[in-house]
Structure 1
């Protein structure tokens, strides 16, 4: 209703009534007289509209605080409070407002208008400005915001325009990336160098480092001819061999291994390895064979340093050394194909080469080296195809196996361990891989392969055999002597059968059909172990030494095969080896950059997950915005400043704090599940790369930096849709920064969870954790109640409470001239006016999560 102006006659009459009222209040009237006077006031003018209402003076003079409209009050008739009508009372109790209940009663300035200091004018908010309820001056709208005349809030549009531009650019980048990928698949490799360039160059790298002793072994003539044929007929094979020949120098010592009484007992009473002794010369090629549960994988893991032996000793080049220190010089090809499915064949191998080859290699040379390697392992035709996974295969299983082998060969190791490298390969591919392994062995690389029932040609390609049964040695020596050795024990090996199959039958205890000696009918495996141990205890393993078998009483003497003896390196060679290890591997910045680049590529290739996360962020922001849309930006209402506190409606401390609470929980739901996959999907990849000398910190930092663009985009979508609908008083840049840091914190928390739980459990637990830190936001229960419990420190450890405090503080501070914020702060428990501290604490907690995640990454044991 309109606020009436007073004429002079009414003013004079009101002054008289005021004086009479004053006299009435100061006189010693009886109750009857007081009642009579009050009844007379019902029909008199007191300044209140309700009959019988007695006004309460709010000030001694014409005082009108900022944000109020006081059109009629004067120094003689100061602002006053009149008891409200029932409808007005209900409105105020329900956080609403009503027209003034008296002529001199002030009223808060209406939304869409502002009342300059003094409160005598109420001016319409001009276009380009907005005026929330209680404005004493208009708020200037942000550039490009929608602000018509009489606006009580602004609708920001520039961030929305930026969002659309980003989405368009992102769509174009993805489309161009796929177009380039399709084009690369259609063209031939352009990185392959001219063969003559690398034939004539003395040393294209300038790396006069590395290794090793001349190989000492007898090789099957057929395989030697095949290797020589490959070198002469395949130019890429020759290029690859020249590349690694520049890196592996035959004038220096390589890696040889000697082990004595090796044991591994993970828990009392369960021995997996028992007193295994032997030596592996540098530049030799060994096959480790045995039945299931014989201890093959455990033996190789202990020899590599991946598993700590519980007994015995290991020597490297004749010296007691910690094998883990040689991880940069050792390659390991696991039985399972641990490769990144989002990358192409070439990208997987190229990344391995870039982070593990010496930092002095130029990228052009690395590209050429990788191209020649890809050609050698027969993957040129699929080098630009994605690897895929078991659920969505792109290349065949055999090709995936070759990619896994190629990743290790790309590092040019001095010793390479392979677990079932030919499983899943056809005969041609298996032969090609074995010829490549033979070729690099000729350059001095020590090759140890776990293999199960190989083809005869592949079996004869190994220099030596290491046979295990029940965790102990059954035979260790030249492959060519294995048949003779078992023949001395009374086993007759068929001439036209694959000797590998026959030997496997014998060492697994199923060789009765190959012998007539009844001594092997009972516990044959244990007797084979004892036979080898007994023979090994005699002499120096010279080839001319003859010993009778323990279980054979005949006078005939049978030969015992010779056992290779490792070379003891000189101090000078050890120094060179140490320098070699220092030079291996890209620099820390380079490794970090390549991990960052690889992770960005993965995210782009996983476009469905990427766009789904962004869409969920936008949807969550929109839903939170809709929940606050009806408030029209009026998300807080408190007690008015003195002396107008009596005019206050019911306070609303909940709306703005709930927006902060719901915003934090929405961010947690949108970000936690995708964030846990940052590391949860790559535990095996990390374990493989770390075991090969990849810097853990470079890997971790690269992965963390790679998700920052994703966090920014998700936060931008969330903030834009929330800001457009909720239109809070805080600036968009402040809201976006708070949301961004909270995304940052949730990603850090989810990373911690991803480090310690199984991949399938990670998303659910991450969502639960994000909800927990959201509940600790200081809203329910309120932080003021938490302080009474003396648990504020616990709540302050959660980023949710700092995030909610930002929202509450930045939305009430613009109206601090109107409301009693100290009372609101006491009731809510939040501290207003510390935006920088709140933001710093969210960032600090998010960073702490990341430090904890890194510690968990490098310390928590994982199933290999």
Structure 2
């Protein structure tokens, strides 16, 4: 059974004006905005979406518009200027460095971000910009491409009254420069409501009103819903038009009847809209193109792979440098485990009992393989989980391709994935008392690095495959444990059941342990 979210909507959003889409939760506001912005991921959409009378696809819409989501997903270690500049580099490849710098400075000035330009975005654990500055930075990141249309999903959500009013005033300024600004609002204050040029009010996926904001009160008065003096129009629409239940008059017995009366009342409001001159006007505007046609200059351009890789590499390196504690923790872990395990298996050949030597040698080498696999898988899972939302948002907005992102990320991580096992292997090799042979030492180090790289790849695979961090961490032991069991120490794989024995061939731990053992 299909659930219909939006039903028979017709309207027009005009340049130079701010249009607010209003409605209660579940009325279809964000669904409509996603369709308008070409960001629908699931479901089926019927109907036409026209720009200047020309039928366009979601991809075409995305190339001439910017979309500011409700949650501001920005890499917390970047400064405001760096975040905006990054978008300018990746989404405006036609600009030379001087033009790009000028564009970034203009946007920062327009959104009043001069004081915060060199402040990091921050997170729950790192002090950064304020909520209002963060929201304005998100708007600036879309505005730097100079889009013809700007979509915003609840841009005042979570902001105080003054900051919310500041953001809506800026949106009005942006519209006056000739842009079409469409924003979703849940229940704006009276001051914010009067900054809108037009409003579109939805209920249950259907249009209740669309037109000039200042004419909305008069329209509902004609419909039989006069707004009292000194009442916030938005509050009135929500409390007296979209909902008109009187809880004191409801009992368990007549609730069904009351719901039916409410449905009948809303049907009258829908019908009043369909027959109104405002609906006829927007039907006409939607189907008659303006004289201005879409030109190639309106469309955003995509940067080349080399540009994407180069700047993603710089950002990843900067992000790693500003997360010094993570780097320090990795090296501390290598030093700690190297010394700790080295002390446990200190000078294995010096033991008198041959059986003890063999037991300790196999145990030590097996632990080296397990440690390097596990120690390099877990950090990737946790760090990528922190960046996943940023990656999905930026990649979804067309800033860069998958190969350029992962190649840049792995390039920055590679030195640490090599250096950490090198430190661990160097300490353990000599503390274990293994053969004093340069060739065997370097093979030992190389095997440890290879197992570490496999662990890093495994962690990346798990982090990309499962969206929820808690679920990922719960499933990691489920996957790693069979790889350990068939790693060559615990089970004689020749006697294992045939339907399980194949696990040994996909276990990096087995290959690492075997190589380390053969090396000695």
TMscore range, shorter length: 0.7 to 0.9
Whether 2:149 is the aligned partner of 1:415: answer yes
Task: Give the conservation status (yes or no) of the 8 Å contact 2:23–2:203.
Answer: yes
Q: Who is 2:336 aligned against?
A: 619
* CA root-mean-square deviation: 3.4
Task: Give the conservation status (yes or no) of the 8 Å contact 1:483–1:493.
Answer: yes
Give the Å deviation of 1:785. Answer: 4.2
**Among candidates 277, 280, 287, match of residue 20 of structure 2:** 287
Q: Who is 2:377 aligned against?
A: 672
Whether 2:6 is the aligned partner of 1:273: answer yes
Q: Who is 1:722 aligned against?
A: 428
For residues 679 and 533 of structure 1, the distance between their equivalents in structure 2, rounded to whole angstroms, comes to 51
Give the Å deviation of 1:738. Answer: 1.7
Q: Who is 1:437 aligned against?
A: 171
Alignment of 1:575-724 (within 5 A): 576-577=295-296, 581=299, 584-632=301-349, 655-697=360-402, 698-724=404-430
Q: Who is 2:226 aligned against?
A: 492
Give the Å deviation of 1:396. Answer: 2.3
For residues 790 and 509 of structure 1, the distance between their equivalents in structure 2, rounded to whole angstroms, comes to 62
Q: The residue matched to 2:420 in structure 1 has which SS?
A: helix
**Among candidates 24, 33, 38, match of residue 305 of structure 1:** 38
Instruction: Please identify the structure whose Cα radius of gyration is greater.
Output: 1
Residues 528 and 506 of structure 1, relative CA distance in 2, 3 Å threshold: same
Please give the TM-score of this superposition, normalised by the length of structure 2: 0.85
Whether 2:119 is the aligned partner of 1:402: answer no
Q: Who is 2:61 aligned against?
A: 326
Give the Å deviation of 1:327. Answer: 2.5
Q: Who is 1:750 aligned against?
A: 459
Q: The residue matched to 1:277 in structure 2 has which SS?
A: coil
Give the Å deviation of 1:757. Answer: 4.2
Q: Who is 1:796 aligned against?
A: 505
Task: Give the conservation status (yes or no) of the 8 Å contact 2:375–2:455.
Answer: no
For residues 243 and 278 of structure 2, the distance between their equivalents in structure 1, rounded to whole angstroms, comes to 29
Q: The residue matched to 2:423 in structure 1 has which SS?
A: helix
Give the Å deviation of 1:712. Answer: 2.1
Give the Å deviation of 1:567. Answer: 5.3
**Among candidates 456, 472, 483, match of residue 217 of structure 2:** 483
For residues 141 and 440 of structure 2, the distance between their equivalents in structure 1, rounded to whole angstroms, comes to 51
**Among candidates 67, 72, 75, match of residue 337 of structure 1:** 72
Residues 534 and 722 of structure 1, relative CA distance in 2, 3 Å threshold: same
Task: Give the conservation status (yes or no) of the 8 Å contact 2:22–2:201.
Answer: yes
Residues 490 and 282 of structure 1, relative CA distance in 2, 3 Å threshold: same
For residues 234 and 241 of structure 2, the distance between their equivalents in structure 1, rounded to whole angstroms, comes to 11
Q: Who is 1:93 aligned against?
A: none
For residues 472 and 9 of structure 2, the distance between their equivalents in structure 1, rounded to whole angstroms, comes to 41
Q: Who is 1:735 aligned against?
A: 444
Give the Å deviation of 1:418. Answer: 0.8
| Structure 1: runs of 5 or more not aligned | 1-267, 513-519, 544-560, 638-648, 812-864
Task: Give the conservation status (yes or no) of the 8 Å contact 2:88–2:145.
Answer: yes
For residues 526 and 725 of structure 1, the distance between their equivalents in structure 2, rounded to whole angstroms, comes to 83
Task: Give the conservation status (yes or no) of the 8 Å contact 1:283–1:445.
Answer: yes
Residues 523 and 386 of structure 1, relative CA distance in 2, 3 Å threshold: farther
Residues 360 and 507 of structure 1, relative CA distance in 2, 3 Å threshold: same
Instruction: Say which is worse superposed, 374-383 or 310-319, in terms of deviation.
Output: 310-319
For residues 99 and 491 of structure 2, the distance between their equivalents in structure 1, rounded to whole angstroms, comes to 63
Please give the TM-score of this superposition, normalised by the length of structure 1: 0.53
**1:612-652: CA deviation from partner (whole Å, max 9, x where unpaired):** 122112222233333432224899x9xxxxxxxxxxx8797
For residues 353 and 630 of structure 1, the distance between their equivalents in structure 2, rounded to whole angstroms, comes to 58
Residues 495 and 794 of structure 1, relative CA distance in 2, 3 Å threshold: same
Number of aligned positions between the proteins: 502
For residues 327 and 614 of structure 1, the distance between their equivalents in structure 2, rounded to whole angstroms, comes to 44
Q: The residue matched to 1:477 in structure 2 has which SS?
A: strand
Residues 727 and 773 of structure 1, relative CA distance in 2, 3 Å threshold: same
**1:530-583: CA deviation from partner (whole Å, max 9, x where unpaired):** 43445436789566xxxxxxxxxxxxxxxxx8864255489x956x44x754x5
Q: Who is 1:527 aligned against?
A: 265
Task: Give the conservation status (yes or no) of the 8 Å contact 1:621–1:663.
Answer: no
Give the Å deviation of 1:653. Answer: 5.9
Whether 2:482 is the aligned partner of 1:762: answer no
Give the Å deviation of 1:736. Answer: 2.2
**1:209-243: CA deviation from partner (whole Å, max 9, x where unpaired):** xxxxxxxxxxxxxxxxxxxxxxxxxxxxxxxxxxx
Higher helix share: 2
For residues 584 and 727 of structure 1, the distance between their equivalents in structure 2, rounded to whole angstroms, comes to 60
**Among candidates 81, 86, 91, match of residue 346 of structure 1:** 81
Task: Give the conservation status (yes or no) of the 8 Å contact 1:285–1:448.
Answer: yes
For residues 485 and 538 of structure 1, the distance between their equivalents in structure 2, rounded to whole angstroms, comes to 9
For residues 303 and 350 of structure 2, the distance between their equivalents in structure 1, rounded to whole angstroms, comes to 54
Task: Give the conservation status (yes or no) of the 8 Å contact 1:477–1:562.
Answer: no
Task: Give the conservation status (yes or no) of the 8 Å contact 2:107–2:144.
Answer: yes
Instruction: Say which is worse superposed, 610-619 or 532-541, in terms of deviation.
Output: 532-541
| Structure 2: runs of 5 or more not aligned | 247-257
**1:670-698: CA deviation from partner (whole Å, max 9, x where unpaired):** 22221102421122212221221123312
For CA contacts below 8 A with separation 6 or more, give which structure has more relative contact order: 2
For residues 526 and 750 of structure 1, the distance between their equivalents in structure 2, rounded to whole angstroms, comes to 56
Q: Who is 1:451 aligned against?
A: 185
For residues 135 and 397 of structure 2, the distance between their equivalents in structure 1, rounded to whole angstroms, comes to 18
Give the Å deviation of 1:465. Answer: 1.0
**1:725-781: CA deviation from partner (whole Å, max 9, x where unpaired):** 124335333222222221111111111211214123434533553444333322221
